[in-house]
Structure 1
Amino acid sequence: MSGKSSAITRTEQSAGHSRLSRPYFRNGPPHRSGADVSFGDIVKIFGFQSICIGRWVTPAEQQIAANLFFDALCDLQLLLAVPAQVISLNESLSLTFGIGGRPGSCAYYQPQGRILALAKNAGGGSLAHEWFHAFDHYIAGKMFADAKAQSFASALWLKHDSYVPHRLNDYLARAFQLLYLDETGLDESEFFRHCRRYDQMQQQYYYAMPEEMAARAFEQMLERQQLKNSFLVSGCLKGPAAKAGLYPATVLSEQLQRCWLDYFALLGQALQHQSSAGLSK
């Protein structure tokens, strides 16, 4: 199905001028078949720890948001070819919508409490970026023996201190090597160098942070796929950051795609095998 989020409902049509009611493009299958879902449905289906909604979110806005979240998370599951439990990071991840916020930020991931937060009127298109931050944080303890509570695997990889060799971990390690190092493996990559120079010009340290480089590369890789959902990810192929070269070039993005999509496909197969084996006992 092509066009915006499947089957705009009467609730969505009557929600006034909230930015939530703008048409978000998606061309994936109609996961809801035109029906409304609730945030409770999302918790149950994906296994999230919890979802908290801000008190200034109206019932109509909450309904639109639930439908958008559901479609986006289902599309993410399809893109990665994984069971629903991977989307909630083995039931460890919590969501908030329309609560608090950070200056200049429409969405963020908070390691303490493992919370992925989206603002009410500005979070659309940021979900994939923040989800990868959550994954990067979650997987740190699987990839590195001495990972601290708030560590990200992408940043720890540069230290090479306590890497845990594993077939799946090796796919992620290869992606980090492509992102941060040149072909010799001895010097920084051109992408890393460019992001660092950009930060120096802006007198900041943000775009060259390993975890930010990885999240931008991941969301851009998803936006390049045939299945599109602009609530899940948007703005990586065009816009100021893309024009500034703050996303990987095509060749690098394609290399990262092979690492990440192969990783998640193998993870999905392994989890499916475990589930099947458990049912057969």
Structure 2
Amino acid sequence: MLHDVGEHLPLAKKFLNKSEAHASDDSATEDSKITLSALWPEPKWQSMHYEGYDTDVIVKLYCIYHGLNKKPHSASGIRWAGESITVNMWQDAYADAVRWIRAACENTYDLHTLKHSKAAFDEAFQDASKQNTYRTYAAGKKTRKSFYHPFHPQGPIAQLEKLLPHLDFPLSINPKRIKLFPIKVRYKNPERAVYKLCKVNQKSVSWTEGDDQSDYINEFETYDAAVEALLAHHGEEFAVNVVDERQAVVNPKKSLDGIQGVVDDYEDVEPTRLMSDYGFRGVQFGNYLSQHERQSFVNNCFDSLRILSDLLNIPNHWIGGRKLGLAFGARGHGGASAHYELDLHIINLTRFNGAGCIAHELFHSFDARMCQQWTGHDGLLSALICKGVTLNVAPQHQERYQAFEQLVRACTDTRSDYVKNAQSLSGQKHGKSYWSAPEELCARAFEAYVQDNLLLFGERQQWLAYRALEQDYPTNGKHPYPIGIERKKLNQLLDESLSTIFHQC
């Protein structure tokens, strides 16, 4: 298994159960703060929908989250496998389990991965003989006589997992208000099963028999018919107000279908070579990456950086500059495919969507490095230029700064269709300012320039830049990349500007 190399890159998700956790988690070390909401604030389910998560994934994550106990078990004196479990032991195990589950859920984008999370969790919390311990059940629900596995919710949560895909969740449904669930029951004639709307607790169900005098007869031939009755007769009880004018947000999301990387017989690269050859200060892997995934990230990044170095005519070592950290599937958040952490100077590529984003995130790192080296400011130079911040540029960097400023002005020209499309994306209800931010406009223009050059030179490697072409998105006034004559002009300007900006690297 490949492991982290080089400098320690702080604040990765796998460190959440250690002293290096975020400040919000540090406060959870106090007994009064060891709660689910303190360790893992409830995700914003609607936001996840607008970010492009599949509904089935959101439903599963919702049920995992609400299947956890809200605080540690307080039962003392329980003996488990000959060991007497104290309150403090429950608290420590609860905090470790919640943090583990949180990291697993925040690093997933599909049901396939979630299905494997239980086995990985069991492996992490079982004893040496592969037997479940009290730690395995510390975060799950509990009745007077039973402990439940946190990945095997019972009662109402188990029913929600089946029901929510049939409802308008997460947009107009509050699952916490749902009191009745379609349950398959056999009674009277054991050969005939029907569905009834039932109240459900952890271990039992109950229902009210319908008759001709009630609003409806509580007996249905199919699950779907029971759901229709639930909506018709009880829908107002769990509906939430939704703006009638709500429209689907156009959120151009990269699909990695068909992306090409290194060939099958590509010689495996050691992670240390990303440091020795390209100047990264450290390389970090998420706990949930398999050996195959780790090697694929290393091989494809190494190959992509070789191409970028040739394209920009820059020394290999300058790319990392001995200050940039590189993480794979270790620090993702929300629905982002990848991100650059300005304060820590780290690029993270997420496990499932990081491929194809290398050029974009490297531009952000270049943007930050030039800002610090040329002006002494910490920040993104493109953003400071657009904000009109007065910058004292050292004389030896004046020519390069002017070339960069010209590029930024062209990428952020409000008269261009490129900027108008970005503003249209950002201006949608539930839209994000991300699209029209100066630094993002510049990074996407660079990304498009790189992919155009990959095609021009016949490179098959697409991890560097992917789905940044004109034909990859509809021309609906919300195209995220430069198109048409504007793309050609920006590419030409990038050719000229980058040769000036990087000529002293």
Task: Tell me the TM-score normalized by structure 2.
Answer: 0.44
Counterpart check, 1:265 vs 2:499 = yes
1:25 to 260, 273, 276: 260
Structure 1 residues 173-184: aligned runs within 5 Å:
173-181=405-413
Counterpart check, 1:239 vs 2:468 = no
Shift of 1:54: 1.5
Report runs of 4+ in structure 1 exceeding 6 Å deviation: none
1:255 to 466, 476, 489: 489
Structure 2 counterpart of 1:192, one-letter code: V
Q: Which runs of 5+ in 2 are unaligned?
A: 1-111, 114-255
Percent identical among aligned pairs is 23
Q: 1:58 to 1:198 in 2, by over 3 A?
A: closer
Distance 1:85 1:259 in 2: 25
Compare 56-65 and 78-87 and name the one that shifted more. 56-65
Distance 2:480 2:335 in 1: 18
1:199 to 426, 432, 454: 426
Distance 2:502 2:365 in 1: 18
Return the index of the structure with the highest Cα Rg.
2
Q: 1:103 to 1:249 in 2, by over 3 A?
A: same
1:152 to 380, 383, 403: 380
Structure 1 counterpart of 2:291, one-letter code: P
Structure 2 counterpart of 1:124, one-letter code: A
**RCO (CA 8 Å, sep 6+): is it higher in 1 or 2?**
1
Corresponding residue number in structure 2 for 1:11: none
1:150-197 deviation digits (Å, cap 9, x = unpaired): x21111111152252611111111111112236xxxxx5443233223
1:185-216 deviation digits (Å, cap 9, x = unpaired): xxx54432332233112443121111111111
Counterpart check, 1:121 vs 2:340 = no
Distance 2:293 2:475 in 1: 30
Structure 2 counterpart of 1:220, one-letter code: A
Helix, strand or coil at the partner of 2:433: coil
Distance 1:222 1:141 in 2: 24
Give the conservation status (yes or no) of the 8 Å contact 1:178–1:252: no
Q: 1:142 to 1:192 in 2, by over 3 A?
A: farther
Corresponding residue number in structure 2 for 1:10: none
Structure 1 counterpart of 2:426, one-letter code: D
Q: 1:135 to 1:115 in 2, by over 3 A?
A: same
Q: Which runs of 5+ in 1 are unaligned?
A: 1-16, 183-187, 272-281
Q: 1:268 to 1:178 in 2, by over 3 A?
A: closer
2:315 to 73, 79, 83: 83
2:446 to 218, 224, 227: 218
Helix, strand or coil at the partner of 2:436: coil
The RMSD of aligned alpha carbons is: 2.8
Counterpart check, 1:136 vs 2:370 = no
Corresponding residue number in structure 1 for 2:288: 56
Corresponding residue number in structure 1 for 2:306: 74
